[in-house]
């Protein structure tokens, strides 16, 4: 897929402490890591919550069935055998998955360390990465100023057991007319009003294909008129989208069902569905095969034949897990995992897919948030928590760094590359940055009155579209700028 999958209607950002880990269990709003692969760095000062009576909690995985009710009294036994996890109620997870405004009331935090059989071992301890942006007092999180934080729930008895939430603290929304660039030209032409929870936006021809996770449909927007011309019903929670090379089919992966829907781009109708193994995180497609990465953290990526709609192969088990996918024209599939320490895999496709290259010995960051590939397949652009201010550029031949896109990225979150490979657009916090790939220099900077989420180049390469965060409403789609206005500041 060309872009990342969004955490619903928010920008969940921040740095993570650099203690590499394996076996992370990832959810939409956070993850816990059972075992690090190196000695953890010193832990921050922790503020314990009051020990209150526990109540039954929902599973850490949104949408899953409730777990057995745990004991109301923590046992305090951290040596109990079997796997453990930090469990946070679904209601609190939802609140943590939304950007907090400065005017927000303090948010009560609660969580439990639970054994494999559902027994509560202790109450979780909560810490915040930057107490100048938000603070925890008496078990409540209070926003103090604009910025991004990492909120950590951990065990006081097992330092290897913790769970991370990325939270953005933002200013109250202001009118869209406040969106003005620091350089380049800005077109005030807006698209037809569309505010909803969205999946990944794709572009082809003069159209943008916008997944609507509220109404379970694809909104087809004509960029020449700014109007929505078609609404196509699809499986629940459309998340991953990809268009085949000749532009005749749009593939749409469902985040909560085992379906990849197929839309005919001539008739603009859904014509069939491909049944896959699990709910979908990311997809790629070529002329004959579909490549699928799943929401589960322990599942192998799979390959499906587009004609027979059957699985033809699985990727090597070393690559398994929730991961971003990028397909190159020279028949390689790049896999970037979303666990704590970023590892890339270059998979040679054929009758038996094999790993041709891995970055396991390279330090490429922590918690991959997005990944894009240049049209010629020579460069990968990585957005991870190795830095709050730049995007890494990696050579696909050896996974070695080939520079970075700097200039105040403000926790880069989403990325797209122009069809001709000349520009890279990056959103971060309340900004859009555009870089020239040849020089890796910033050619456009645009400040908005709201928090910026997705960004996508129109297929004709003439404009950049994107979305603003609208808190619990989702995102708002609009045109960001025209490419013709790009110039070195």
Residue 488: the pLDDT is 53
Could you tell me where the beta strands, DSSP code E, fall in 200-348?
202-204, 207-212, 217-222, 227-233, 238-243, 249-254, 259-264, 269-275, 280-285, 289-294, 302-305, 311-314, 323-327, 332-337, 344-348
Structural domains of the chain, with CATH: 21-170 (no CATH), 176-485 (2.130.10.10)
Residue 451: the pLDDT is 82
Residue 271 and residue 266: Cα distance in Å, rounded?
A: 11
Using DSSP's 3-state secondary structure scheme, residue 318 falls into helix
Residue 378 and residue 400: Cα distance in Å, rounded?
A: 12
User: pTM surpassing 0.85?
Assistant: no
Phi, psi of 479 (to 5 degrees): -85, 130
What is the β-pairing status of strands 147-154 and 125-128? antiparallel
Q: Which residues pair with 260 in a beta bridge?
A: 253, 274
Give the count of alpha carbons within 13 A of 53, CB side only.
Answer: 1
Is residue 274 within 8 A of residue 296, CB to CB? The reply is: no
* Among 401, 397, 485, residue whose Cα is nearest residue 440: 401
Residue 68 and residue 91: Cα distance in Å, rounded?
A: 17
Is residue 347 within 8 A of residue 291, CB to CB? The reply is: no
Residue 304: the pLDDT is 98
> Which string of DSSP letters, residue by residue, matches 66-127?
PPPPPPSS----TT-SS-EEEE--HHHHHHHTSPEETTPPPEE---EEEETTS-EEEE-EEE
Is residue 323 within 8 A of residue 316, CB to CB? The reply is: no
* Torsion sign over Cα 262, 264, 268, 271: negative
Using DSSP's 3-state secondary structure scheme, residue 28 falls into coil
Residue 389: the pLDDT is 60
Residue 281 and residue 298: Cα distance in Å, rounded?
A: 13
Question: Cβ atoms within 10 A of the Cβ of 489, count?
Answer: 11
Residues of the chain with pLDDT under 50: 2-80, 172-189, 489
Question: Please, is 289 exposed, middle or buried when counting C-beta atoms within 10 Å of its C-beta (0-12, 13-18, 19+)?
Answer: middle
Residue 146: the pLDDT is 75
Residue 406: the pLDDT is 77
Which tokens go with 446?
A: 């645009």
């Amino acid at each position: 897929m060309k872009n990342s999958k969004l955490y619903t209607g928010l920008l969940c950002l921040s740095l993570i402490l650099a203690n590499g880990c394996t076996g992370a269990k990832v959810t939409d709003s956070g993850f816990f890591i059972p075992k690090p692969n190196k000695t953890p760095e010193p832990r921050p000062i922790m503020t314990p919550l009051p020990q209150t009576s526990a109540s039954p909690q929902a599973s850490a995985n949104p949408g899953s069935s409730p777990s057995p009710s745990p004991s109301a009294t923590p046992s305090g036994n951290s040596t109990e055998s079997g796997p453990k996890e930090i469990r946070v109620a679904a209601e609190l997870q939802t609140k943590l998955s939304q950007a907090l405004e400065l005017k927000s009331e303090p948010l009560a935090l609660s969580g439990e360390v639970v054994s494999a059989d559902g027994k509560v071992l202790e109450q979780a301890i909560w810490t915040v990465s930057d107490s100048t942006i938000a603070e925890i007092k008496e078990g409540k999180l209070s926003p103090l100023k604009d910025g991004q934080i990492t909120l950590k729930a951990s065990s006081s008895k097992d330092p290897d057991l913790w769970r991370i939430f990325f939270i953005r603290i933002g200013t109250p929304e202001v009118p869209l007319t406040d969106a003005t660039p620091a350089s380049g030209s800005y077109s005030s032409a807006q698209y037809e009003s569309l505010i909803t929870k969205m999946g990944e936006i794709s572009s082809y021809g003069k159209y943008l294909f916008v997944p609507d996770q509220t109404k379970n449909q694809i909104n087809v927007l004509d960029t020449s008129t700014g109007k929505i011309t078609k609404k196509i019903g699809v499986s629940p929670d459309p998340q991953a989208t990809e268009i085949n090379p000749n532009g005749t089919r749009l593939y749409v992966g469902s985040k909560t069902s085992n379906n990849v829907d197929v839309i005919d781009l001539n008739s603009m109708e859904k014509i069939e569905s491909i049944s896959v193994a699990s709910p979908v995180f990311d997809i790629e497609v070529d002329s004959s095969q579909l490549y699928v990465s799943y929401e589960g953290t322990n599942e192998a990526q799979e390959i499906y034949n587009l004609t027979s709609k059957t699985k033809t192969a699985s990727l090597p088990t070393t690559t398994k897990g929730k991961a971003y996918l990028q397909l190159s024209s020279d028949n390689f599939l790049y896999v970037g995992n979303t666990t704590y320490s970023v590892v890339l895999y270059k998979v040679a496709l054929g009758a038996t897919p094999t790993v041709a290259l891995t970055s396991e010995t390279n330090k490429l960051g922590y918690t991959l948030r997005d990944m894009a590939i240049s049209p010629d397949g020579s460069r990968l652009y990585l957005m991870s928590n190795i830095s709050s201010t730049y995007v890494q550029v990696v050579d696909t031949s050896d996974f070695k760094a080939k520079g970075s896109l700097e200039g105040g990225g403000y926790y880069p979150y989403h990325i797209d590359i122009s069809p001709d490979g000349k520009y890279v657009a990056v959103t971060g916090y309340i900004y859009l940055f555009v870089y020239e790939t040849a020089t890796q220099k910033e050619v456009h900077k645009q400040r908005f009155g709201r928090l910026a989420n997705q960004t996508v180049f129109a297929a004709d390469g003439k404009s950049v579209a994107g979305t603003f965060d609208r808190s619990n409403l989702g995102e708002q789609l609009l045109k960001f700028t025209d490419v013709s206005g790009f110039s070195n500041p």
